[in-house]
Structure 1
C-alpha cells in the first residue's frame, strides 16, 4: 500500500516514528532494521527489504527525493521460518521516477539511505553493472587469511575481500547481480570438522547455519542498502549440510526456504516466479534471470537429479521454459537492443558441465538472440567465445551466438577451483583468483567486461563484445 502525505505531516509522522514503530509504541531493539537490501521492482519501483528480531504488523518505509522523507509505503509482509532467528520484511515503493535518486529509511531505523531507480528502458547513456558468483561469508565464519582442514586458498594478509572490493568501487556500477550460491552457510559442518569453527555440534537445530547466514547478510548490507542487489538461485541455497555424511538439516533450511523468504526479486512485475526466474529492463538492456536448479527436465536439484538436493519443483511442468520464451519474444530490441541472461550452472566451462541445463536453455537463448550469458558455480573465472551448439564465433565480429562468461570466483570457505589444461575449445581466458566482473554497456554496439581481482582491485582481464544493434535513425551515439 502506498500513500502520499504533505511534507509537514510526513515530517512530523517520520519524526514520531523514530521513537515509535507502526503502532506508535516505543521502538525496541527487536524491531531495529538490519540486513537492509534493495531490488528493482519494474521500471518505476524499488523493493526495500530488511530483517528484524520481532515480527512487524505493518513494515513501513519513509522515502522521498530529499531527507524530509515525505512519502510512506507499507505492507503486511513480515515472515520467518523454522530455525530462523529473524523476520524478513518487504515493502515495494511504487510511482517512482526513472534514474532518480531517493532517500529512504525503514521504520525504527537510525540511518537515512539513498538509492537510484532503474534507468528508463531505452535510455542510451552508458552504464555499468557488477556481477559476482559463489560468494560466501568472510571473516571468522567464512573465508579469511586462515582456513580449517579441507579448505584451500586463504586470503593473503592485506587482501581485500570481494565485498570490500565491490564496496571500494561502488560508485562505478548501478547494481550488483549475484548469480547463485550466497553465503555458503551450508559449509558450517566443514568448518566445524576442520576445526575452524567450534565446537563440533551436529545437534544445534540449525543455529550455526543461521549465524553464518546472518553474518553474510550483515556483511553485504554496505552494498545492498545503496545499490539494488539482484540474486539468482544456486545449489547452495537448496540444502544446509554440505560436507556431511548425515542428514542434519532442519526443515527451514531445506528446499530454498531462506532464499525464498529473504529476497524480493521483480517476478511479480515480469510474470516470473518468486526469486527463481524474473526479468527487468535497465537502459539499453533487458536482463533475464533463469533457474538452473529446478523446474526443467532432469533439473539437478530436484528429486532424482544429480545434485541430490530433493528441492522443488516450484511450478507446473514446463512453466519456466514457457515463461522464458514468452519473456524473450516480447523484448523490443529497438528499445533494449542488448539482452543479458544469467543462470547459475554453466554448460561451456573447462570442467564438468551441466548438460541438462544446456539441453533446456541453450536452444531458447539462441532462438531469441541473447547477447551475453553469465554463470557461476565453478570457482574460477573463465571467459569464452560466443558459442552456439558448441561452435564458436569471435566476439569482435558481430556474432549471432551468445557470449559466455563464467565467474564463480567471489570467494567462500572452500576456496577456488583450478581447472585442468587443456581448456575447452570455447575458452579464451582462465584466471584462478578471487574477483568479480564489471560490465559496461557503452552504446548499442559495444559492451565491455573487466574481471576485477578483489585482492587489490586490479583489472585482470578485459574484452569487448561488438554487435550490430544500431539503428541509424535513433541518434543513439553508436559509432559510424
Structure 2
C-alpha cells in the first residue's frame, strides 16, 4: 500500500530507532518562483459536462464520486470492471452554496459499491502555481493507492473561483485515485457578518467519510486502508480539540476501537505541526499538542504528518519535546507548492530531535511493506525533475517488544 503526500497547494535507508542521528539541514540553489495558474471554470458550452471530479474512500469497499456541473443534471454514476461496459449504477444528490456574490455550480455526490479489492473499475458520471503543477505530475507518475493531504488545498482565501480552478487542476489525478484531505487555515474563509460560518466551501466541495467513523464532523474523521492494516486519523487543527471538545471525545473513542493485532499501522494527519524548527509558524500547534499528544502516544501512533510550514522536515520519534523510541515520528510535508513561497529560515542550531530539514517543494511517499516495516521517502522538485532527497525505514511500534503496553 503506497501513500503519497503533498502539502499546501495554491489552487498543493536507515532503520529508524531511538539511537542518536546527526541532524541534516540542506540548502541548494533553487529555481525562481513560478506564476499563479488560473484555469477558467467552463471549457464546455453545454453546462452539463462534469468538471472537478474527485474520488474519496467511504469505508472498506465503497468510493464517493464528487463532481460539479454548471447546470442541473442527474446525480448518477454508472460503473463496472470493463471500459465502457457499466454493469452497475448508483444515484446520489446535488447541492450548491453561495459565498457573498459567488454561487457555486451544482456539486454532485454519489457513493458507489460495494467494490471488490484489487480490481480496476471504470465509471462515467453524468496554491495553483507552476510548482504545484510540477508536484502533481510527479505524483501521477508514482503509482500511489491513496493520496493524503494535510490541509490548505486551493488557497482560495475568499476568492471562490479559485476553488473551481483548483478542482480542474487536480481532476486528472483526483478522479482516478482516492484523495483524503483535512482542513488547513486557508480553508476557514470566515468573514463576519456576511459569511459567519467557517469552512463553508471546503465542507461543500470535499466531503470526507465522517459517516463511516464515529465522527459527525467533516473536519475530523478516520478510515482504514489495506484491508484494515492501516488506520488513518485525520485531525482538525482549526476546530476545538481540548478535552471537553467533540473532536477529543471522538478521538478517544476511535483509538479505543483499533485492534493493533489486526491494524499494525496507525497514522495521524494534522495541519499545524506540533514540532517545528522553522522560524515560520513557530508554536502554532502547541496547544493542540498539549491536549492530544498523550492520546496518540498511549495508543502507539507510528507517524504524525503535518503541513502548514512551506518546507520539509523529519523528526525522530519524539514525545513531549524529547526523543522517545516508543513515540511517533513527526514529519512536516507542507511543501506541495503555493503562492506564498518557501519558508527558508530555520532555527540555528538545529534541534537534536530534527533529523532532516530542507526548504524545497516536493512530495512524500509512504510505502507499507508488511505488518512490521514501511518505507518513507521525500522527493524534492528540482526544477521539473523529482529527486529523492530523504528516506528512512520505519518499524511499526506494535512490533517493538519494548513498546508494547
What TM-score do the two structures reach when normalised by structure 1?
Answer: 0.68
Does the aligned pair in 1 maintain the 2:183–2:236 contact within 8 Å? yes
1:176 to 147, 159, 165: 147
Does residue 386 of the first structure (1) align with residue 317 of the second (2)? yes
The CA deviation at 1:98 is 2.4
Shift of the 98–272 alpha-carbon distance from structure 1 to 2, 3 Å rule, reads farther
1:88 to 104, 107, 112: 107
Give the aligned partner of residue 240 of structure 2: 295
The CA deviation at 1:271 is 1.8
Does the aligned pair in 2 maintain the 1:439–1:450 contact within 8 Å? yes
2:54 to 37, 42, 51: 37
1:285 to 230, 239, 243: 230
The CA deviation at 1:373 is 0.5
The CA deviation at 1:28 is 7.3
Does residue 456 of the first structure (1) align with residue 401 of the second (2)? no
Shift of the 413–273 alpha-carbon distance from structure 1 to 2, 3 Å rule, reads same
Give the aligned partner of residue 477 of structure 1: none
The CA deviation at 1:65 is 1.5
Give unpaired runs (5+ residues) of structure 1. 1-26, 108-135, 139-143, 145-154, 187-205, 241-246, 299-316, 394-398, 472-480
Give the aligned partner of residue 198 of structure 2: 255
Give the aligned partner of residue 268 of structure 1: 211
Give the aligned partner of residue 216 of structure 1: 166
Does the aligned pair in 2 maintain the 1:278–1:289 contact within 8 Å? yes
Count of aligned pairs = 345
Structure showing greater relative contact order (alpha-carbon pairs closer than 8 Å, 6 or more residues apart): 2
What TM-score do the two structures reach when normalised by structure 2?
Answer: 0.80
Q: Distance in 2 between matches of 1:168 and 1:35?
A: 20
1:322 to 226, 249, 257: 249
Name the SS for the 1:267 alignment partner.
Answer: coil
| CA RMSD, Structure 1 to Structure 2 (Å) | 2.2
Does the aligned pair in 1 maintain the 2:94–2:106 contact within 8 Å? no
Give the aligned partner of residue 139 of structure 2: 166
Does residue 347 of the first structure (1) align with residue 274 of the second (2)? yes
Residues 61-80 of structure 1 correspond to what in structure 2 (within 5 A)? Answer: 61-67=77-83, 68-80=85-97
The CA deviation at 1:77 is 3.2
Give the aligned partner of residue 329 of structure 2: 403
Does the aligned pair in 2 maintain the 1:231–1:275 contact within 8 Å? no
Does the aligned pair in 2 maintain the 1:264–1:275 contact within 8 Å? yes
CA offsets 1:113-139 (integer angstroms, 9 cap, x no match): xxxxxxxxxxxxxxxxxxxxxxx112x
Name the SS for the 2:211 alignment partner.
Answer: helix
Shift of the 262–468 alpha-carbon distance from structure 1 to 2, 3 Å rule, reads closer
Give the aligned partner of residue 343 of structure 2: 417
Shift of the 266–160 alpha-carbon distance from structure 1 to 2, 3 Å rule, reads closer
